[in-house]
Amino acid sequence: MKSYETIKLEQPQEHTVLLTLNRPEVANAMNTQMGLDLLDAFDGFCAAPNAQRCIVVTGAGRVFCGGGDLKQRNGMTDEQWQDQHLIFERAIRAMIACPVPVIAAVNGAAYAGGLEMALCADFIYAVETARFALTEVTLGIMPGAGGTQNLPRAVGSRRAKEILLTGKPFSVQQAFEWGMVNRICKPESLLAETLETASVIAGNAPISTRQIKQSVNMGAGMDLHSAMMLEIEAYNRMVPTEDRREGVRAFNEKRKPVYRGR
């Protein structure tokens, strides 16, 4: 696994990458280098989707990510601020574009850019002590890493506008009830539960999981007729694959299939 200054990449189990935000001394705040590291890592995932079948993103220590590093930003010129934010934008776009399933394992507070990062994942598991907020409005700015787009898709536009316009934190229980968090975990079992789900995903045919993700994501912005056409195109991509034949063969032979991503 490639080494980075602000994030850590590991392979805790077969076909799974664990990406840890690794600035615990500053609540894993996003500085320029973290933006560059995330951009490089997710560009790599996008460029070689067969190299892994599931990606888990978590934070080191007791916080997932406290958002942008405001100490680094203090005193920046407008141009410097925008140059840095462009790096963050590119990293977020690379995360969203990643064809491989991504799970966020939120181990503590996820504020501002930290919550935006978690929302880029396909779904979220979080500890029972996790808290969330998009606080940008209280700082004279607004979310600029997908928060105004991904949050409404997770909780609905009216709930999202309340969160965005007040900047007030909300609990993991609220996040679960609103549909933003899929599972609430004990702190000591968060990673194990997330990796267990990642293992199930990684055990399925990787072309299938990538096509499903693309179909859901792209279809959400289409009318139903167009989305159904997109789904069939995605479906037809799998008919001539070895994995499709292996899946049917394994079912009839009453054994677990061995998928090879081709």
Residue 240 maps to a domain: yes
Instruction: Give the pLDDT band of residue 175 (cuts 50, 70, 90).
Output: very high
Question: pLDDT above 90 covers what percent of the chain?
Answer: 93
- Same domain flag for 65 and 88: yes
User: How many Å apart are CA 77 and CA 37, to the nearest integer?
Assistant: 23
Q: Which are the catalytic amino acids?
A: 116, 136
- Same domain flag for 56 and 169: yes
Instruction: Give the pLDDT band of residue 20 (cuts 50, 70, 90).
Output: very high
Name which of 5-19, 69-83, 154-168, 170-184 the model is least confident about.
Answer: 69-83
Residue 2 maps to a domain: no
Residue 258 maps to a domain: no
For the sheet with 183-185, list strands across it.
7-13, 16-21, 54-59, 102-106, 123-127, 183-185
At residue 69, the pLDDT reads 86
Q: How many other C-beta atoms lie within 10 A of the C-beta of residue 106?
A: 31
Q: What is the pTM of this model?
A: 0.93
What is the overall mean pLDDT for the chain? 95
Which amino acid is it at 208? S
* 105 phi and psi angles, rounded to 5 deg: -105, 90
- Same domain flag for 14 and 42: yes
Q: Can you give the CATH number for the domain in which 240 is found?
A: 1.10.12.10
Q: Among the three residues 184, 202, 220, which one is the final residue of a domain in this structure?
A: 202
- Same domain flag for 140 and 155: yes
Q: Give tens-digit pLDDT for 133-174.
A: 999 999 999 999 999 999 999 999 999 999 999 999 999 999
- Same domain flag for 139 and 29: yes
At residue 47, the pLDDT reads 93
Instruction: Give the pLDDT band of residue 13 (cuts 50, 70, 90).
Output: very high
- Same domain flag for 123 and 217: no
Pull the structure tokens for residue 129. 């002590």
Q: What is the DSSP letter of 68?
A: B
Domain that holds residue 172: 7-202
Q: Can you give the CATH number for the domain in which 191 is found?
A: 3.90.226.10
Given a cut of 90, whether residue 7 has pLDDT beyond it is yes
- Same domain flag for 88 and 162: yes
At residue 176, the pLDDT reads 98
Residue 224 maps to a domain: yes
Residue 196 maps to a domain: yes
- Same domain flag for 27 and 48: yes
- Same domain flag for 182 and 211: no
CB 184 within 8 A of CB 193: no
- Same domain flag for 146 and 213: no
Q: Give tens-digit pLDDT for 178-228.
A: 999 999 999 999 999 999 999 999 999 999 999 999 999 999 989 999 999
Instruction: Give the pLDDT band of residue 73 (cuts 50, 70, 90).
Output: confident
What is residue 239's three-state secondary structure?
A: coil
- Same domain flag for 171 and 85: yes
- Same domain flag for 21 and 45: yes
